[in-house]
Amino acid sequence: MAKAVELAEQATQCGTVYCLGALAHNESLLTKLSSQGVVFVDDLAEVPDNATMLIRSHGVSPEILEQAKARKLLIIDATCAFVRNLQVLVARLVEEDKQIVILGDRHHPEVIGIMGWAHERPYVLANPSQLVMLGSLDPDKPVALVAQTTQDKLSFDEVAKKLTALVPVVEKYNTICKATALRQESVRSLARVVDVMVVVGGKNSANTKKLADICKAAGVRIIAITGAAELDMSQLQDVRTVGVAAGASTPHWTIKEVIAKMENEKNGEEIQEVQATEESRQEQMSVEESAMDQTVWEFSVGDVVKGTVVQLSEDEVLVDIGYKSEGILPRQEMILGADQELSSVIRIGQEIEVAVKAVDEQEGKIVLSRKTIERQQKWAELEQAFENGTVITGRVKEVVQAGMVVNLGGGYEGFMPGSLVDVTFVPDFSVFLDEEVSFKVIEMRREKEKLILSRKHVLEEEATVLKERILNSLKPGQVIRGTVKRLTNFGAFVDVGGIDGLVHISEMSWSRVDNPGEVLSVGDEVDVKVIDVIPERERIGLSLRQAQPDPWTKIARQFKAGDLVEGKVTRVVDFGVFVELAPGVEGLVHISQLANHHVKQASEVVQQGQMVKVKILEINTDAKRVSLSMREATPRPKKEHVKEVQLPQDTGTGLTFGDVFGNLFDLKKEKE
């Protein structure tokens, strides 16, 4: 039944699922499934064509299967393996022309389905007392006795014994579920030592009813309820010991509620519990196709076997390994985290490999372990990852000065040296603590359980793959976004998606740049144009200025020949100076245009960084050239008028030059 419920829940993820009949005799479970999208119908005609139909664990007749296929229904067959084997057995017995007797409830869906496989030929007995109805048996034909999988083993043996007295040949096929037989025997034993048995389960549950019948046969008083709300505590007055049994479809929380109610209101009294989950474990049993007899295997400490999980709690797992009772797998015999729940790694119905740790034949108890197996399996996985270079993951358990300790699972830990943590230097490894990281195993030694890990290898491989992809995808002319990673004296390296490209200093700006730091800073996000890609050399040439508008495209609209403008001297060369008119646009003032007089060196007239007035002589946008003149931007100074001095005539009187110019020299001294 558990498998059927799981299949139903999985199927509802894809849409509505129709189930032929109730999946379990438990209203709370059915309500939950209905809310998830399971629709329970009584007849196949209620299922729409092309819909999804679930066959519950009880199985159906072959006619139902044929009708479903004819209507193109998507069939999810959850018939339990034990019931399936019973169906096959009955069909074979019919072919062998044997008389078939079924011990079971004629109205139970499992028996109804079996009748279909037997072509309505078998006799059905509810209990040994109905043997008197078999007067029409042919004494010359062998009789094959089978049982509904949830029947009582004692009743089956009694019917077999009485049949032998009626016909010469009786073939017994013990088709009772092994788990059912064990649960019923446990309930029978418990009923003998308690004062009252509380049987919890659906009123229509066949296996729950069978548990109640067993308790009655043991002579103990029974209180049958479907849940804690129905339990009348007055019925337990003066009762010292109470036994609790529950059917397969009874949820575990319902059982806990019943026990909690008794414990809270009847403190001091002893309560013993047996949860009978026969139907939920039928599909986990295997039978031999011939006689379907159960084989009880013998085990020794150290044996490694496979088994099926049949029950799960917080502290242990019960595993069917073919022993006379389920093996106990304690939590401490598994490798789990401190807060990890068993249900996160184990589920009911799962087949697992276990090792036998202890066997108690007298108690019929067997203790199992998975520690050794899990360690072996994990080492094999790690070894395979090492040989194949596979990337695996683990959680960082501890950080130390030299690196990190990583939990690999299965009880193994690996060490990742600091130099192998990243492709760049990591000053503090604590940022990785408790984080899931990917890595490769680069060294391992079994004898010392030594494992060396490298995250750096993974990052380098990822970077190589990314680099190849980027190099093959970039084309000259593309404008892409990048981040400045590094500045040098000849340019800047820009990350364009995992690979660095170079923006040469000459491609940084339309203006002259002497130092890349004038334009960019590390961390800047910029648009750059791809100007060169050489994949084999892993080289990408980028341009910052070409990703921006060319200032020469608008210079003709901004200036014209004859304009007088002011600009900054950007360079002084032998043949003149360059003056910046606008960002990215420079013009040349030839040395002959620097001044109105002859200039031997431009530095005699102007210095770099100086603001000067210039006249635009010519603009050639195609050649990106502007001719300028400082001489014509500055008017020539006017010539001063020189007054003629009339020298006195020599009269022969003996006057000296001092007499004539003495006053002029005095004036000169005063000026000085």
Catalytic residue numbers read 110
Q: Are 490 and 505 in contact (CB under 8 A)?
A: yes
Q: Are 8 and 33 in contact (CB under 8 A)?
A: yes
Q: Across-strand partners of 360?
A: 365
Radius of gyration of the chain (CA): 50
Element spanning 198, H or E: strand 196-200
Pairwise CA distance, residues 15 & 649, whole Å: 135
Q: Which two tokens stand for residue 317?
A: 């797992």
Residues comprising the chain, all counted: 672
Q: How many CB atoms lie within 10 A of CB 255?
A: 21
Cα 291 to Cα 59, 90, 145, 177, 245, distances in angstroms: 21, 11, 11, 13, 31
Intra-chain end-to-end CA distance of the chain, in Å: 125
Q: How many CB atoms lie within 10 A of CB 308?
A: 20
Q: Which two tokens stand for residue 235?
A: 């019925």
Q: Are 80 and 280 in contact (CB under 8 A)?
A: no
The crossing angle, in degrees rounded to 10, of helices 27-36 and 2-11 is 20
Q: Which two tokens stand for residue 392?
A: 């695996």
Handedness of CA 177, 180, 186, 188 (dihedral sign): negative
Pairwise CA distance, residues 161 & 165, whole Å: 7
* Closest to 239 measured CA to CA, from 216, 272, 282: 272
Residue 245 DSSP code: E
Backbone angles phi, psi at 334, to 5 degrees: -125, 155
* Closest to 221 measured CA to CA, from 192, 180, 184: 192
Residue 439: burial class (beta carbons within 10 Å; 0-12, 13-18, 19+): buried
Q: Across-strand partners of 436?
A: 395
Handedness of CA 220, 222, 227, 228 (dihedral sign): negative
Backbone angles phi, psi at 421, to 5 degrees: -80, -40
Q: Which residues contact 616 (CB under 8 A, 6 or more apart)?
A: 559, 560, 561, 562, 563, 564, 565, 581, 587, 626, 627, 628
Q: How many CB atoms lie within 10 A of CB 610?
A: 13
